[in-house]
Amino acid sequence: MRVIDLLFPRRCPLCRAVLDAASDRLCPACAEAFSRECAARCAACGRPADGCTCVPRAAAPHLTPVGGRAVLFIGFYDPERLPLTARLLYTLKHSPDRAASAVFARAMSAALTRRFLSCGEKPSGWRITYLPRTPAALRRDGFDHGRRLAALCARSTGARLCTLLDRSGAEEQKTLDAQGRRENAEASLRLRRGASVRGEKIILCDDVVTSGATAARAARLLLAEGAEAVFLLTALRTGQALPPASPEVP
């Protein structure tokens, strides 16, 4: 064990238990609870996250399906029924600790690779970018967790990380109603100066998809600039969840 680990032991970001193995990001109890929550099902279609095709209506027309999916996410944002996932998301957004981004990115990368390879699509032929935080959120937290997720997903899937979008002067989306979100997203997002996307296939990475308004705006921008395809990869989708289906009794 390194001296630094004795002085400042690495801790589970959710329960603060000291982590034993260097590769652990969550303690065994929280890791198990998280994977149980990830098996929850969509209340609308009854499928688990990686099979749910309930694409937010605003985003659907602008995204490109790969293997039957235009949006891929690994869990649901439902704080009442899935409290641990909600806390992990909070840590991802607001804590400098990188454990939460590693946990989400690992699951997102695995889901993306499975989905792409199942239809002969190679992630390495795609670029990966992120929906940048608003300047206000960046000032408050000091980092962009969307970029962290995209960078980790790039590393483990082989997609090429690029910063393609800029956002300025926008209000934080969560303080707005649906109409306000749409207008705010329209007003604030633009292609980064000098970025070229002609003929490129682009994975757009984000933490949570709610109305899909920002993702739709980003996808429209990228397609208007000549991008060939835009696919949305998020950690979570907002929506009610049902408990996992019980295993079939033979």
| Rounded distance between C-alpha atoms, residue 55 and residue 108, angstroms | 17
Which residue, 91 or 188, has its beta carbon nearer to Zn ion? 91
Which residue, 11 or 220, has its beta carbon nearer to Zn ion? 11
Which residue, 77 or 130, has its beta carbon nearer to Zn ion? 77
User: Alpha carbon 235 to chain centroid distance?
Assistant: 3
Least distance CB 52 / Zn ion (angstroms):
3
Residue type, position 68, single letter: G
Least distance CB 206 / Zn ion (angstroms):
18
Contact criterion met (CB below 8 Å) for 200 and 125 = no
Which residue, 25 or 201, has its beta carbon nearer to Zn ion? 25
Contact criterion met (CB below 8 Å) for 233 and 209 = no
Least distance CB 72 / Zn ion (angstroms):
12
Contact criterion met (CB below 8 Å) for 212 and 55 = yes
As beta bridge partners, residue 199 has none
Least distance CB 53 / Zn ion (angstroms):
6
Residues making contact with Zn ion (CB under 5 A) = 12, 14-15, 17, 27, 30, 42, 44-45, 52, 54
Name the residue among 110, 88, 78 with its Cα closest to residue 30: 88
CA 99, 236, 218, 182 dihedral sign is negative
Which residue, 29 or 136, has its beta carbon nearer to Zn ion? 29
Least distance CB 44 / Zn ion (angstroms):
5
